[in-house]
Chains A and B, each alone.
Chain A
Amino acid sequence: MTQLLALLQAALVFGTVILFGSMGEIITEKSGNLNLGVPGIMYLGGIAGLAGAFLYESSAAVPVPLAGLLIALLCALAASMLGGLIYSFLTITLRANQNVTGLTLTIFGSGVANLFGGAMNKMAGGVGQISVAATSGAFRATPPFLSGLGVFSGLGFMAYLAIILAILSSRFLNRTRRGLNLRAVGENPATADAAGVSVTGYKYLATCAGAAITGLGGLYYIMDYIKGTWANDGGIEKLGWLAVALVIFARWKPLHAVWGSYLFGVLFWLYLYIPGVSLDRSSQEIFKMLPYIVTILVLVAVSIKKSRGNEPPANLGLPYFREER
């Protein structure tokens, strides 16, 4: 029983990282932009938050945790939105290819983050030496009114924020006029354009807002998952691609992404908790394939069934140029 609880706890923390990532990507993809820069944006958000908190904590005599938290949040949001803006400008205004631009953003983000992460580690005295204890502690503190929720208690506040954001974005997409417009842009931009919806405006806003949410995933990874440190080990990149996978698994619905992300967490950590079996290291690696294989199966199943409401936005990945209708 304690084993099961430990697995669920680990899954919740893991799931929250990719939940942010995929929620942002769902909103982006609803506008028809397939942004493969998710890992890059998560990198940007994570490193900016860490850098902000690090500079603050090393300059203040007695760092106030709440101030560090706010600075980290603002830096992460700004940096990840900047990433979204670069992508939007290139693909929407300059009409560059979405896949190539997204991949470039991933290369760029990973370069920037690892460069500055490594540099900060060096400034702090060596590999793995950087620490933003006060800020990270603030991120990991459970809000007092949220204790006593069984497995759900004892998580940092961002884990709950992710769930709230998922409910809000689901309501936004399905229950509001603007959400309807956004979905129309992703399904059929020419029709949306004819109906007087600003396709460019919606694409820009959705991509930048989506990037901001995705970036929070990177911040949560840094502050909570690895407890306010930095390692040049490609951890964010791996999770970033899982977030892209989760978008498919959740069939572009934020609420499905919530339980999907926790399921991915369970699948990812399962190898540590199989009762009665202790796997050797090589078999563990095989177990870590599970989330990816499950995603492939879902992808195939969705395409075979072709039921309405489960499919990607019809115009996903395709550019829209009014003059070329």
Chain B
Amino acid sequence: MNRKATEPFVRIVKRDGLPLWHSWLIRLAALALALAVCAAVIFAIVRLNPLRVYGAMWQGAFGSAKRGWITLRDTMMLLCIGVGLAPAFKMRFWNIGAEGQILVGGLATAACMIYFGSAIPTWALLLLTFAVSAAAGAVWGVLPAFFKARYGTNETLFTLMMNYVAIQLTAFFVAKWENPFGSNTVGIINQTHKSGWFPAVFGQQYLLNALLVLALTVFVFIYLRYTKHGYETAVVGESERTARYIGIDVRRVIIRTMLLSGAICGLAGFTAVAGASHTISTSTAGGRGFTAIIVAWLARFNTFVMILTAALLVFLEKGAIQIATQYNLNDYASQMITGIILFFILGSEFFINYRLIFRGKKEAD
């Protein structure tokens, strides 16, 4: 065993303090690379000029005023969930249960709209649904948090299972409220008198969604950055032992943070039902609870950066749906493209945090 001590072919060194513009440059490069790979894949499938395909994507997202508003509405929905996840993730609590929290929030909203729809005026109904849906989401979020805080139960798996309990619960109510009978859908709730629907603001139907979500975005940003609660959340996330040592009641912080996180995800269900679809089904969340995890993660839990990442993902989705209809593919092309782009962006984080030193190169300082 007299192997000569050679320098390894490549070494990995941690970077510290990469300038902000540099890290965004790396991300943009990753995005460009991902788009190139997607273009190759699209070309392989449909034999079309990828540039025209990307042009069609732009058309799909912003091609008309109506499309633009729908893109905005869906961005706001995704942003809302991402904002809801931010406090939990800041605490390193893997809340994968947004999907379920959205559904129970939506379910609570639909229930209020159905049972109180004609009994109370819309403004009171909106306030009521706001409170009830937030409470429903909070309950769904706090259950795993309680067991995590008390017994250390794995929250990733617990929240994941809660999603499916929520989906079945929704299926139960959809069968109960089905309208018309035999359709297995709830139909548009309160279609005639529109009670419980978000009113149009300045003549724009989806402006209230945007205002509500932006308010939540600002609130969570301030909550996490400038309040004692937010600071405690961050300390628990960085090191539970440190938190305990400096006298933070860790259990309380976990439960409190998940109450907030669940409540905001419940509100996402509220905007989805009362502000957008006016109906409820098992696909009301439609995987957005999972996509939002990626939105939050890419933005490093900064709620303002999430506006960008949410917009990017919704743009991809809308664009891909447009490609699908225009070139006879199906909508799932968007999921594939999203997947490829996310793989590249996730991989690019490595080059932001580390750099490679090849054999023979002197280490630059």
Known pairs A111-B333, A299-B154; A285 contacts B175 (CB<8 A): yes
Name the distance in Å between A39's Cβ and chain B's nearest Cβ. 10
Q: Which residues of B contact A312 (CB under 8 A)?
A: 154
A104 within 8 Å of B by Cβ?
yes
Q: Residues of A contacting B160 with CB < 8 Å?
A: 36, 241, 244-245
Instruction: Mark interface residues in A283-325 (1 if CB within 8 Å of B CB, else 0).
Output: 1011011001101100110011000000010000100000100
Q: How many A residues are at the interface, by size bracket?
A: 35 or more
Of the candidate stretches B185-193, B269-277, B338-346, the one touching chain A is B338-346
A34 to B160, CA, bound (A): 13
Q: A289 to B168, Cβ gap below 8 A?
A: yes
Which A residues touch B291, using CB under 8 A?
A: 107
Q: Is A62's CB within 8 Å of the partner chain B?
A: no
Select which of A94, A99, A111, A119 is within 8 A of B338 by beta carbon. Answer: A111
Number of interface residues of B (CB under 8 A): 52
Assembled-state Cα–Cα distance A245/B160 (Å): 9
Across the interface, do A111 and B337 meet the contact criterion of CB distance under 8 Å? yes
Closest to B354 in A: A95
Task: Tell me whether B347 and A96 are in contact (CB under 8 A).
Answer: yes
A-B contact number at CB 8 A = 156
Contact of B343 among A36, A108, A110 (CB under 8 A): A108
Q: Verify if A282 is at the interface (C-beta below 8 Å from B).
A: yes
Given contacts A232-B330, A289-B168, contact A104 B339 (CB under 8 A): yes
Q: Is A114 part of the contact surface with B, judged by Cβ < 8 Å?
A: yes
The answer to whether B156 touches A99, judged by C-beta atoms less than 8 angstroms apart, is yes
Contact status B340-A108, CB under 8 Å = yes
The smallest C-beta distance from B319 to any residue of chain A, in angstroms, reads 14
B153 near A: Cβ within 8 Å?
Answer: yes
User: A90 at the A/B interface (Cβ < 8 Å)?
Assistant: yes
- A243 to B: closest C-beta gap in Å: 12
The distance in angstroms between the C-alpha atoms of A57 and B163, with both chains bound, is 39
- Whether B151 and A303, one on each chain, are in contact in the complex, defined by CB atoms closer than 8 angstroms, is yes
Give bound CA distance, A232 to B330, whole Å: 10
Supposing A115-B332, A232-B332 touch, asked if A292 and B156 sit within 8 A by C-beta, the answer is: no
In-complex Cβ contact of A34 among B45, B156, B162, B329 (8 A): B156
Q: Is A112 an interface residue (CB 8 A)?
A: yes
With A97-B297, A108-B340, A232-B332: A286-B161 Cβ-Cβ less than 8 Å = no
Minimal beta-carbon separation of A234 from chain B (angstroms)? 9
A95 and B350: CB pair below 8 A?
Answer: yes
A245 to chain B minimum Cβ distance, whole angstroms, is 6
- From A95, A99, A105, A285, give the contact of B339 (CB < 8 A): A105
Query: What are the 10 A-B residue pairs with the smallest beta carbon separation, nearest first?
Result: A108-B339, A111-B335, A111-B336, A282-B175, A114-B332, A285-B171, A94-B350, A303-B153, A118-B330, A285-B172
Chain B interfacial positions (CB closer than 8 Å to A): 12, 14, 45, 94, 96, 147, 151-154, 156-158, 160-165, 168-169, 171-173, 175-176, 287, 290-291, 293-294, 297, 328-330, 332-340, 342-343, 346-347, 349-350, 353-354
